[in-house]
Amino acid sequence: MQVAIPLYPRFTALDAVGPYTVMAFAPGWTVTFVAEEPGPVTDDQGTLTLAATASYADMPRPDVIVVPGGLGTLDVMGDTALTGWIRQAHEHTMWTTSVCSGSLLLGAAGLLEGLKATTHWALLDFLKQVGAQPVSERVVTEGKIVTAAGVSAGIDMALTLLAQATDEATAQSVQLVIEYDPQPPFTSGSPKTAPEGVAERALRLLA
């Protein structure tokens, strides 16, 4: 199973690295970071750089696409090299997925028209602009398109996908390997449960 994760300037690192770690541990799965041209791509904090080891042209038909989000997502929605690759590769994928605002890039590629999809809670309404029906859920599956909510939800999405593509035992084994056993110290991981004022502070961090 070949997985391609496209990188673009100011992507969010965990959006890419979370699913990468899950899928890279799966037996027989190979994960490749791609970009228009191979080379370094820096994240939205400006301090972490990942290397794309292949170009879009090098991987025209991956089995799985994982499109990360990030503070740079809106800047690249008009990047026809990226959205064109997503659209063309989608014709041949077994699964086309996104994390966080990466779903907006699926929408920009014309893949979400009339479909339910999710993204980071702060951007849900933007999905309407690309023809999708926003859903406030952790992971949303519509046929072979799977979208995940914000950042950490990419790990949930990858495990969900792995279970569907292989079997639950494989996904459970990978979950145990990475010791994914969330026990957060606070209940502020959702705007539904966050204390008063936390959502506003969180939005300022995204500015």
- Catalytic residue ranges: 100
Cα(19)–Cα(174) distance, integer angstroms: 11
Please give the single-letter amino acid code of residue 170: T
Cα(151)–Cα(56) distance, integer angstroms: 24
CB atoms near residue 169 (< 10 Å): 9
Residues whose CB falls within 8 Å of the CB of residue 197, separated by 6 or more in sequence, listed in order = none
Cα(52)–Cα(129) distance, integer angstroms: 30
Please give the single-letter amino acid code of residue 182: P
